[in-house]
Amino acid sequence: MTITIIGGVALLAIFAVAQTLPRLRAARAGATTEARCFRVTQGRNARGDKARVWHQFEFTTTTGARAEFGITRNRQVYGEGSRVQVMYDPKNPSKTASLAASRSEIRSDVLRMVLVLGGFLAFALMLHNYG
């Protein structure tokens, strides 16, 4: 039981890091451009109980290369043809691209990641010590 709980909390921590690091890299690199939504797909999550909407975007980097990235939301936010600002790291645009964020949004992402990681460490230590 203890290992299952630690595993679940660890997955949450990994998810928080995986969501935050690409945005941090993109924000640090400072490259921004306009992207166009070229596909919107609707479906359900793995359990089939929540609707999910996948938005696919394409953009041209500062070097002229074409790149794509996607986001998932609980509802349709953008229609096909919608234009949005994106930020990305020119070294790896498709893997680091995300919707452009303000400094306060990025700070919130970092705070969320730190809190989740800190909570994981505190929980793991508590379980180790009190078992």
Provide DSSP, 93-126: HHHH-EE---HHHHHHHHHHHHHHHHHHHHHHHH
Residue 63 DSSP code = T
Q: Which domain holds residue 110?
A: 2-130
Q: CB-based burial of residue 32 (10 Å sphere; 0-12 exposed, 13-18 middle, 19+ buried)?
A: middle
Contact 68, 57 (CB under 8 A): yes
Site of tokens 């909390």: 9
- Own/partner long-range contacts of 79-82 (Cβ < 8 Å, ≥24 apart): 79/37, 79/40, 80/37, 80/38, 80/39, 80/40, 81/36, 81/37, 81/38, 82/36, 82/37
Instruction: Report the pLDDT averaged over residues 22-33.
Output: 74
Predicted local distance difference test score (pLDDT) of residue 124: 75
pLDDT of residue 45: 67
Measured CA to CA, the distance from residue 51 to residue 35 in angstroms comes to 25
Total of domains in the chain: 1
pLDDT at 131: 63
Residue 2, pLDDT > 90, answer no
Q: What is the mean pLDDT of residues 40-59?
A: 82
Q: What is the pLDDT of residue 115?
A: 77
Q: What is the pLDDT of residues 60-112, one digit of tens each?
A: 998 999 999 998 876 778 889 999 989 888 888 988 888 876 566 667 767 77
Q: Which of 127, 116, 115, 122 is nearest to 4 (CA)?
A: 127
Average pLDDT on 5-12 reads 71
pTM for the structure as a whole: 0.63
